[in-house]
Structure 1
Amino acid sequence: MATDPRDLDAFEQWASKVELRLFADSSGPTLTVSEQIAAKVGDRIVAGSLAPGARLGEQELADEFATSRGPIREAIRILEREGLAVVLPRRGAEVTSLSAAELRDLFEVRAGLYEIVVRKLAETRAPELLAVMRGGVARLESLVEDPTGGDAYAETVHRLMQISARFAGNERLRRMMAALSLQSLRYSKLGLASVERRRRSVRLWKQATKALERGDAEQVMLLARQRAQDSAEAASRVLGDAGVPT
């Protein structure tokens, strides 16, 4: 069945409000210099242009952003707090390495939070949300067979989950989901890199959307757990192939 263009429009409108970056939810009028730098460096880490283990030299960053080392140190502390950087004795700061242990922890917590979201959504079955979900699934379908579509697919999944959290009507829950999203997105990109994985993922998203339309919270949660497990296992295999202990 062809996708209703109105569903696609609904998804795109909501997706444009979800920024996958640090301080996207900041309620303040402006960000400090350190926060701006942390956001820009965080973008590079999540995008993969700064690889795990890459050095974050204070002087190099100070030169790049035309500032002193003080704001750079604070920016690195922010990145460390968000799980994107680590400061090592006698080595300085570097991008956090991906690990199977962190992968399991992040996906377990995210799955638990999403189950709370699903229960709230199944109670209301807001027509606007259902339209957004159908449009989002259509967007996912358009990326499945694209050999280079893995990153965009993973980002669309994260946007769908954050949009769902907004409709749940719990601001603290939404913020917790958003905070976890940046930390887990790097792993999601690994887990959804293959066309085969995306084919299975989009099938589960379709089934979940239909279950949500019926108000079947248990089925939606079961499918969400299956998606998370599949993605975590796929990412873990990639890490294992790269020599990361599992």
Structure 2
Amino acid sequence: MTSQIFSHDVQQTLDLIGIFVFALSGGLLAVRKNMDIFGICVLAEVTALGGGVLRDVLIGAVPPAAFTNTGYFVTPLAAGLVVFFLHPEVERINRSIQTLDALGLGLFCVTGTAKAHDYGLGTVPSIALGMLTAAGGGVVRDVLAQETPALLRWDREIYAVPALVGATIVALLIAHGHLTTITATSAAMVAFVLRMLALKYGWRAPRAWHRNGSRVSED
């Protein structure tokens, strides 16, 4: 199966790192929203696992991996507790968290695309589900926190675009029979670098313009 790009142990380790970091970002948003420990853990869980669960349900891989692997389910809870007790310290290392988050984005868009392909989806649907795997949890998090999803906001650095680029590369590699550990890692690194450059330079997706050349109102 193409979804098992890396060895089992390496895949498990990378998944858990990505899940933990995604969960930290969900927990931090819950703290900013003044939620209690239950809310912190819920947002940590949905941020870390939401994209993968949505993907697995859509492709018929049930029960989702998040519910059959205890480590996947427990890791976000651990991250939620870390945020609950140490959120000032976690906020202070936010730049490091963003870097790891970008790595998780690259990893999940790759494995999500490959898994969708394994379940019989074509190139375009596989790309869409690869992007969903990487960014879907953040959308669920923002909806539960009553915020406009970050990937739909013009004033946030691009997030879904790097995942889309990484997923597209993987889908094309699969279509031409060139998906290997090395090429998959390269695709993940492309998504990672794009996300980091977006953070560094404030890259944002273009907004709509009126016919007279002015931007649509921000209201």
Q: TM-score, normalised on structure 2?
A: 0.37
Q: TM-score, normalised on structure 1?
A: 0.34
